[in-house]
Chains A and B, each alone.
Chain A
Amino acid sequence: METGTAKAVTKPQAEDLKDPAYLKIRDVIYQISGIYQPEEKLYLLASRCARRMSVVKAKAPAEYLEHLTMRGNRDAELRLLLNEITIGETYMFRSPPQLEALRNVVLPQILEAKKAMGFKRLHLWSAGCSTGEEPYTLAMFLLEESEKLLAGWTCDILATDLNDDSLAAAKAGIYGEYALRSTTGLLRQKYFKPHDEKRLQVNDQLKSIVRFDRVNLNDDSRVTFLKGLDLIFCCNVLIYFDLNSKRKVVQHFYNNLLPGGYLFLGQAESLYQVDDRFRLVHFPGVIGYWKPPLGYRGGGKS
């Protein structure tokens, strides 16, 4: 799930945004969840806060800040606010820059390193896959590259979530116009079949490379055994973990990845002060976290 704007948001008055309490709320959210709202997008945050403020009957942002930091139920309130912030169904092909980075930089780099060792298999993990939009997007991307970049390679995607309902929906793979809004007609034809008047269902070819499973990221005994991964995608999931569990999960991700593998987070998420072993790598329009191979001493990569 990604930070979304699915629900209509009412833009608060410009004067409200000048309230320094919003900056403090922004920083609290960032410290706790790693989700960051740049100053120019504070009106989005303000509109999300407005909904929670009316529920808890806080009259001003400063009063609401108290609910998030001082009152007894602050953890619960923060979780409810995070729900507001990350709400909105996600959709397929939500981050084109991410796929461009995979196609142009990340995969060529990984393929070259693996080929040198005689491997021709690629393992991806969509951790916190929600209703399946992310893993199916990746599956379409991989299939589209199967004659080009990935000719001769075998790929599989493990897609996990904690929520049984989300997993059931993901396995069924039935999507409406919202989820398919960025999926081209050609891809709809190739990888979907009609389900009912308004919805399409993913076809067997697409399903065949995605394996769904229920995994609790907090469950060490399960997560430890997911090994040999090339790419991990974990969007807007870590935000619900406290710092210690977040560190633990990210440490697992690090160990799950092969050297040279990448971790991708949600667009507004960061690992600052969570982990310093991953290297932050910038690609055009998107950032990724890289597990450097043994002996890496910096010097940039291109």
Chain B
Amino acid sequence: MSSLEAIRLKIEALEELPAVPAIVLPLAAMLQQPTEQVDLGKVVELVSYDTTIAAQCLRMANSPLFGRQNTETVRSAVLALGLKRVGAILMGCCLNRIVPPDQWVLDPVTFWRHSLGCALVSNKMAKLIGYPDPEKAYLAGLLHDLGILVNTIACPEEYRRCLQTARDQRAPLDRSEEKLLGFTHCQSGRILAERWKFSADLVAVIEFHHAPGSVPGATPLVPLVHLSDLLCRLRNLGHGNYEAVGVDLSGDCAWATLVEHYPALARMDLARLTMDIDGAMDEITAMVDAVFKPVPSASA
């Protein structure tokens, strides 16, 4: 059994892997800054650093989901999407690289479809309830399952069994991780997030998105992403396994926490939000296919 300590050692070795793009750390630092302090030229430079990543960013900027079309230069894509959104997209593209194409033990398209779905839902919910930083909610949704990537790299064979067990038992993934690995993607994700100096509330999302009741301090970001994650998993935007659960979202403790912060949530039309997700599903799938489908070789 891999212990969490062994995972920590593997993560420390991870940074020497050529697959991890050098821009991850400057990017993570940029995403923590207030928007007005971010340098547009610097972002364009980061995006242009790697032609494959730049192409992925352009494809995303041109997706109907973002309401943009015919963006041809990195600069106009950055302007069209906004600095923070581009940063988040860029982060997703970089993270996609930390798992080499032949080492995925789960379908990368399914994984990114869930992450992106969760990012979009978190962003939408943030706007609906009046959370002050919807772009941070987007980023938190995109990165909440970072630990799944960590587990995939650090212990691929055990993790393959974990995923299979979750599928066979139609159970949530973190339960089979707990049983078979002794730790969950929440814990392993936290190690990498801290090492990459993610802000405290992002680290909290990664660590506590399955247990929003246990988070110390009161950041509304954790319950927000927890609910978005649940909603996505129950709208065919999950990890590809059927989870035999019925969830009363408004009876969830995360809901009560969020309502305390944002009374508007109590009046939110959850059925309509759900139908919006259903309506956007084809777009999300098409975009993830276009952006994250593994390509045999990176070509400029």
Residues of A within 8 A of B (CB): 30, 36-41, 100-101, 104-106, 109, 268, 270-272, 279-285, 287-288, 290, 296-302
The CA-CA distance from A181 to B19 in the complex, in Å, is 48
The smallest beta-carbon distance between A290 and chain B, in angstroms, is 7
Question: Is B242 engaged at the interface, CB distance under 8 Å to the other chain?
Answer: yes
19 contacts between A and B (CB under 8 A): A30-B272, A37-B279, A38-B276, A40-B282, A105-B244, A270-B272, A279-B248, A279-B251, A282-B248, A284-B236, A285-B234, A285-B235, A288-B246, A290-B246, A298-B252, A298-B255, A300-B249, A301-B245, A301-B246
The CA-CA distance from A41 to B246 in the complex, in Å, is 26
The smallest beta-carbon distance between A233 and chain B, in angstroms, is 16
Question: Is B230 engaged at the interface, CB distance under 8 Å to the other chain?
Answer: yes
A282-B247 contact, Cβ under 8 Å, with A41-B279, A100-B242: yes
Contact of B275 among A268, A283, A285 (CB under 8 A): A268
Residues of B within 8 A of A272 (CB): 269-272
Measured CB to CB, the nearest residue on chain B to A280 is B270
Residues of A within 8 A of B256 (CB): 298
Residues of B within 8 A of A (CB): 170, 230-231, 233-236, 238, 242-253, 255-256, 269-272, 274-276, 278-280, 282-283
Contact of A300 among B238, B252, B283 (CB under 8 A): B252
In the bound complex, do residue B249 and residue A280 qualify as a contact, i.e. CB atoms below 8 Å apart?
yes
A301-B247 contact, Cβ under 8 Å, with A40-B279, A40-B280, A270-B271: yes
Measured CB to CB, the nearest residue on chain A to B283 is A40
In the bound complex, do residue B246 and residue A105 qualify as a contact, i.e. CB atoms below 8 Å apart?
yes
In the bound complex, do residue A281 and residue B276 qualify as a contact, i.e. CB atoms below 8 Å apart?
no
In the bound complex, do residue B280 and residue A302 qualify as a contact, i.e. CB atoms below 8 Å apart?
no
Q: Which 5 A-B pairs have the closest CB atoms?
A: A38-B279, A298-B251, A270-B271, A104-B244, A302-B245
The smallest beta-carbon distance between B64 and chain A, in angstroms, is 8
In the bound complex, do residue A287 and residue B271 qualify as a contact, i.e. CB atoms below 8 Å apart?
yes
Residues of A within 8 A of B280 (CB): 38-40
The CA-CA distance from A109 to B247 in the complex, in Å, is 13
In the bound complex, do residue A39 and residue B246 qualify as a contact, i.e. CB atoms below 8 Å apart?
no
The smallest beta-carbon distance between A249 and chain B, in angstroms, is 17
Name 17 extra pairs, CB < 8 A, besides A30-B272, A279-B248, A282-B249.
A36-B272, A39-B279, A271-B271, A272-B272, A281-B247, A282-B235, A282-B274, A283-B246, A284-B236, A284-B238, A285-B236, A290-B246, A290-B248, A299-B252, A300-B253, A301-B248, A302-B245
The smallest beta-carbon distance between A124 and chain B, in angstroms, is 18
In the bound complex, do residue A283 and residue B234 qualify as a contact, i.e. CB atoms below 8 Å apart?
yes
In the bound complex, do residue B276 and residue A279 qualify as a contact, i.e. CB atoms below 8 Å apart?
no
The CA-CA distance from A111 to B269 in the complex, in Å, is 30
In the bound complex, do residue A284 and residue B234 qualify as a contact, i.e. CB atoms below 8 Å apart?
yes
In the bound complex, do residue A38 and residue B275 qualify as a contact, i.e. CB atoms below 8 Å apart?
yes
In the bound complex, do residue B278 and residue A38 qualify as a contact, i.e. CB atoms below 8 Å apart?
yes
In the bound complex, do residue A104 and residue B242 qualify as a contact, i.e. CB atoms below 8 Å apart?
yes
Residues of B within 8 A of A271 (CB): 271
The CA-CA distance from A272 to B275 in the complex, in Å, is 13
The CA-CA distance from A285 to B236 in the complex, in Å, is 6
In the bound complex, do residue A280 and residue B238 qualify as a contact, i.e. CB atoms below 8 Å apart?
no
In the bound complex, do residue B275 and residue A109 qualify as a contact, i.e. CB atoms below 8 Å apart?
no
The CA-CA distance from A286 to B26 in the complex, in Å, is 42
In the bound complex, do residue B283 and residue A270 qualify as a contact, i.e. CB atoms below 8 Å apart?
no
Measured CB to CB, the nearest residue on chain B to A105 is B246
Residues of B within 8 A of A287 (CB): 271, 274
Residues of A within 8 A of B246 (CB): 101, 105-106, 109, 281-283, 288, 290, 301-302
The CA-CA distance from A299 to B252 in the complex, in Å, is 5
Contact of A104 among B170, B247, B248 (CB under 8 A): B170
The CA-CA distance from A47 to B275 in the complex, in Å, is 20
The smallest beta-carbon distance between B282 and chain A, in angstroms, is 7
Contact of A302 among B242, B247, B255 (CB under 8 A): B247
The CA-CA distance from A105 to B248 in the complex, in Å, is 13
Residues of A within 8 A of B270 (CB): 272, 280
A105-B283 contact, Cβ under 8 Å, with A279-B250, A282-B234: no
Measured CB to CB, the nearest residue on chain B to A101 is B246
The CA-CA distance from A76 to B246 in the complex, in Å, is 39
In the bound complex, do residue A36 and residue B275 qualify as a contact, i.e. CB atoms below 8 Å apart?
yes
Residues of A within 8 A of B278 (CB): 38
Residues of B within 8 A of A298 (CB): 248, 250-253, 255-256
The smallest beta-carbon distance between B190 and chain A, in angstroms, is 24
The CA-CA distance from A270 to B170 in the complex, in Å, is 27
Residues of A within 8 A of B234 (CB): 282-285
Residues of A within 8 A of B251 (CB): 279, 296-301
Contact of B250 among A39, A104, A280 (CB under 8 A): A280
The CA-CA distance from A10 to B57 in the complex, in Å, is 33
